Amino acid sequence: MEDILYHLKDLKDQNKSFVFCIITSAEGSTPRKEGAKMVVFDDGKTVGTIGGGSVEQQAISDALEIFKTRKPQQKQYILEDDLHNHHGGKITIYFEPVNKKPALYIFGAGHIGRETGKYAAEVGFNVNFVDQRSDIYKDYKLEYGGFISENYLDAAKKFDFSPHDFIVITTPKHEWDVAVMSITAKKDVAYVGMIGSKNKVANAKKRLLEKKANTEEELNRVDMPIGIPFNAETPREIAFSIIAKLIDVKNNFNL
């Protein structure tokens, strides 16, 4: 395989998660020298090599742990002492995790949802619209989102969300918003936000608590009214408010 560096952008464009590993220092007898590269995917598969054997197995194991931290690290390996490797030298490896774009599920692909998805795609989200209206997507451009035609509540119940996913709720009816929010508030995700006025949000929270549909802890995790508060009026302005909040959460969690 030609130099891995030429393929890193392709891997990122394919929305793959991986750790890029490169030997930055090699002293004494080592299986590979400075510049040897390897990519470790989040399932443990690899491309390239930094020398094979025990040193490579340890680097793969370390890469998978570093991937969980989402922060670059540098590690030194003394081959004979640390890894019982007959070479006897020492190497330093730099590890840099590259994460998938966080997925954003927008329930409700109307004016606000459309504007939110458009700009979310531009700032690093993998956008998925969810809407039960069969003709809602006819004027949408395909390049900035995936389009799911399904009942809001069915989708909210059955989707296998990950802890790095974001959910924005902007359906055409407040009762649908609340129903989707009640379901997704129980999910282990990075963010749930629901549109609505302060009064509507307060009343919805009160009703859900009285019915014991949700706990207070679950509802407190929901961003409602959604977004960064400022005097937004048009769908695009409201979308900017939502995007600002999504960026803030994404960057604080290093997603």
pLDDT at 213 over 60: yes
User: pLDDT tens digits for 99-154?
Assistant: 888 999 999 999 999 999 999 999 989 999 999 997 888 777 656 678 889 999 99
User: By mean pLDDT, which of 6-15, 45-54, 217-226 is the weakest?
Assistant: 6-15
Q: What 3-state class would DSSP assign to 8?
A: helix
Structure tokens at 122: 């531009």
Distance CA 71, CA 176 (A): 39
For the domain made up of 103-252, the CATH class stated in words is alpha beta
User: By mean pLDDT, which of 80-84, 115-119, 215-219 is the weakest?
Assistant: 80-84
Compute the CA torsion angle 191, 194, 195, 201 (nearest 10 deg): -130
What's the confidence (pLDDT) of residue 16?
A: 85
Beta carbons within 8 Å of 205's beta carbon, 6+ residues apart:
219, 224
- Entry pTM: 0.79
pLDDT at 82 over 60: no
Per DSSP, the residues of 109-151 read: -SHHHHHHHHHHHHTT-EEEEEE--TTTTTT--GGG-EEEES-
Q: Where do the CATH 3.40.50.720 domains begin and end in the chain?
A: 103-252
- The secondary structure of residue 77, as a DSSP letter, is E
Distance CA 124, CA 127 (A): 9
What's the confidence (pLDDT) of residue 141?
A: 65
